[in-house]
Every structure is written in structure tokens, then in C-alpha cells.
Structure 1
Amino acid sequence: MDMSGDRDIFEFSQRLLGEPQPMPDAADLMPDWLPDDGFDQPPVPAAVLIALVRRNAGYSVLYTERSSALRKHSGQVAFPGGRIDAEDHDAAYAALREANEEVALNPQDADILGYMPYYFTGTNYFITPVVAVVDPKAPFVANPSEVERVFEVPLDVIASEQSYSTFRIHHRGQERRSWQLQYDGHTIWGITANLTRRFRDSVIGTGVDS
């Protein structure tokens, strides 16, 4: 399926939420996996940016590989994003702020299309995925204190069912599963792969392969 046109992007926007979902009561939240000891703190609001980058060859989606020096999730592939700070106006502001800090994405180059439903993690993060079209006027540059490298995956690859497989990890006698994508030497799994698959199914739409 050729997804290079702005018409496709307009259709995506019709399938997104116009506002971020409010956080329900913590007791009503179900994480993607349940930690052994549960949670002893309130959920942490966070936002990630699913950036649809406009290129001459068509649209692609922006990913980062986290620095190996980070204490948590080092070396993993992630969307730009992080905690929503008290001074952030909303989830979109936080996602663009983090993208600017991590990869020098200029917020003025981004046009917010909408929001996906929240994703609650087993690490107690309440994530709002923010979807935006990005028309970059300058190259993305990895902040070495946070990001090892920046890469993009063509939207056609993300739209294809054949791009996905299942990733399994065993921890304390339990098996956890996530979606997995491999592209150009990068392995996307865990929360990032699950959000990518949700984006594929609910925003790009099923039955997209030609």
C-alpha cells in the first residue's frame, strides 16, 4: 500500500481523539503487565510523540535508540517522550518538548493531528500517545546524554502485517509478550512496539496490505 499522500494523513486524523483522555481512578487502570508487588505510588503521567515525518519518498515514523548510559531502559528503542511536567501545558506540549530535548525536533515544524487512547504500563506510567505530522527544516540530532541514535521507519513498513512478530520474555516465572518489529538492524519491542501496532490497527486501519 502506498501511503505517501496527504490524503492518507487526513484520514488518520479522523480516527484520532481530539483531546487526551483524562486519567481514570487508579483502581480502574489495568497495566500492560501486572508487577508482583503492585503499585505504591500514583500513576506517572507521560506523553510520547508518534511523529509522521514528511519525506520526499513518503512518510516515515520517528524512533530513538536510548543511550546505553541511561539507568532505565538503556539501549531500547522508544518514541521521543517522557514525563509530563507540572509546567507543561498539556500532553502535546510535553511530547514536543521532550522531542526537542532528545532529537532537536523543532516544535514549530510539527502539526498535531490528535491523540490515541492512553496506555498504562507495568512500570506505572500513564502514557498519552500524541500523533503529529512533522515537516523538518533541519536534521534530527541525537542528544548524547539521552539518545544513542535516531532513525525512521517508512509508514508502509508499519502498515504491513508482515512487519510484525511476537516477542516473548520470561521474568520471575511469568511470560510477557509484546509485538516486535525489525527494521534496518533495529529491533522494536515492548511498549514501543505495542503502541506502534495500536497505531497501525486503529489509526492506519486494518486491511491495509495490498
Structure 2
Amino acid sequence: MDQKECIQKIHTAIHRAVHPDPPDPDFFQPTSVMALFAFNEGVELIFIQKADVEGYPWRNQMAFPGGHVDEQDTSTQATALRELEEEMGICSQDVKVMGSLGHFQTINNKDIEAFTGVWNQKGKITFDPAEISRVIPISLAYLTRVHREKGYAGRRPDIMELTYPYEDVLIWGVTAKILHHLIEVIIPKNK
């Protein structure tokens, strides 16, 4: 399958799926992230590893780029695109947004609306090392294999169980919840 067909397949799956609804806005602070696809030798998802800074609440954690909704943002999608540019130097015109994966909550009362997009890979990723230690593209085929080998397919694992190891890092917490939902949406159940 070529890149265009793959993008269309993912786009269709995202739009046909049922995604988690938003919670009561009185109890959660709105944030958004971008699960960003890139195409190299295969389909990859781009993750960031937060900086190794003493006292930083997300120290060394794996995440999708994103952040809090600001007053000037016209939507949570605009927030995800603004944060993508601020955190990684990827301009919104270089991203084709495919849609929302719905809402995911953290234990510290953040409501994260997760968006999906495809980066055309124009320009170069740049980031502030005070906030991000590195950018890690991970093969979707690898993540799907882990998903199946750990027995996550077709069920929603407990948050303590739900982890995706990769080399020297571990995807866990709300990022793992978003990744789990994304894989469940785009990967055929019978494969």
C-alpha cells in the first residue's frame, strides 16, 4: 500500500470510529496533543521525550506534542497545531489534520483532546532542550506488534498494565491510553 492509500485508510478509520467524549468542563483543564504520523521506510508516529529537569512534573516522560489551550486559540485543534510548532518547529501548513481521537483525562485533572495528523516532512524538527530531551519516531508496525503481544487488542487494559516499551523508554499513562485507542481504531481486528 502506498503512502496516499495508507493515509486514506487511517483517515477513514478515524472518522468511522467512536471516540471518548469530553468530560464535565468544570472539573478539567482543556489541553490537546497531536499524534503525528510520518512516512519514511514505513509509517511512524512521532513522540517527544520530556526534558530531564529536576522538579519538572513530566520529567523524562514520553508524550505526543501538545499543551494547554490558550485564550487566543480558536479551537483545541488550533491548540494542538500551535503547540506542535512551538515544541517542534513544525508549521501547521506542513500538517494534514485527519481528525480527533476524542478526549482522555489525566490524574491531575487535564482533559486532553488528541488529534491525528500527517507531517509532509518539509522543514526540520527543532526543539528547546529545556523542555524536550529528544524526538523519537517509532514504527507503527512495532507499536502494533507490542499491542498484540501484550494482549491489548480488543480490550481496555488497566492503566497500570498499559505500557509500550521501546528501546530505553516506556510509553505509559495517558499517552499509552491515547496510543491504545489509536491502534484499536486503525488496525483491523482480524490481523
Q: TM-score range by the shorter chain?
A: 0.7 to 0.9
Indicate the larger mover: 96-105 or 136-145.
136-145
Once the two structures are superposed, the pairs formed by residues 98-177 of structure 1 within 5 Å of their partners are 98-160=83-145, 161-162=147-148, 164=150, 177=160
The code of the aligned residue for 2:24 comes to D
| Higher fraction of strand | 1
Structure 1 stretches lacking a partner, 5+ long: 27-40, 167-174
Q: Show the counterpart of 2:45.
A: 61
**Cα distance in 2 between the residues matched to 1:49 and 1:163:** 26
The number of residues matched between the two structures is 182
Once the two structures are superposed, the pairs formed by residues 73-92 of structure 1 within 5 Å of their partners are 73-92=58-77
Inter-CA distance 136–51: structure 2 relative to 1 (3 Å threshold) = same
The code of the aligned residue for 1:199 comes to L
The code of the aligned residue for 1:138 comes to G
**Cα distance in 2 between the residues matched to 1:165 and 1:76:** 23
The code of the aligned residue for 2:138 comes to V
- Shift, 1:44, TM fit: 0.4
- Shift, 1:17, TM fit: 4.3
Inter-CA distance 203–139: structure 2 relative to 1 (3 Å threshold) = same
- Shift, 1:45, TM fit: 0.4
Inter-CA distance 104–177: structure 2 relative to 1 (3 Å threshold) = same
Q: Please state whether the residue corresponding to 1:42 is helix, strand or coil.
A: coil
Q: Show the counterpart of 1:198.
A: 181
**Cα distance in 2 between the residues matched to 1:53 and 1:44:** 29
Q: Show the counterpart of 1:9.
A: 7
Q: Is the 8 A contact 1:104 1:142 kept in 2?
A: yes
RMSD, aligned CA: 2.5
**Cα distance in 2 between the residues matched to 1:73 and 1:163:** 28
Sequence identity, in percent? 23
Inter-CA distance 24–74: structure 2 relative to 1 (3 Å threshold) = closer
The code of the aligned residue for 2:79 comes to A
Q: TM-score, normalised by structure 2?
A: 0.84
Deviations 1:43-92 (A, max 9, x none): 1001010001122x122100000012262111111110011111111122
Q: Show the counterpart of 2:24.
A: 25
Q: Is the 8 A contact 2:34 2:84 kept in 1?
A: yes
The code of the aligned residue for 1:101 comes to E
Q: Is the 8 A contact 1:163 1:182 kept in 2?
A: no
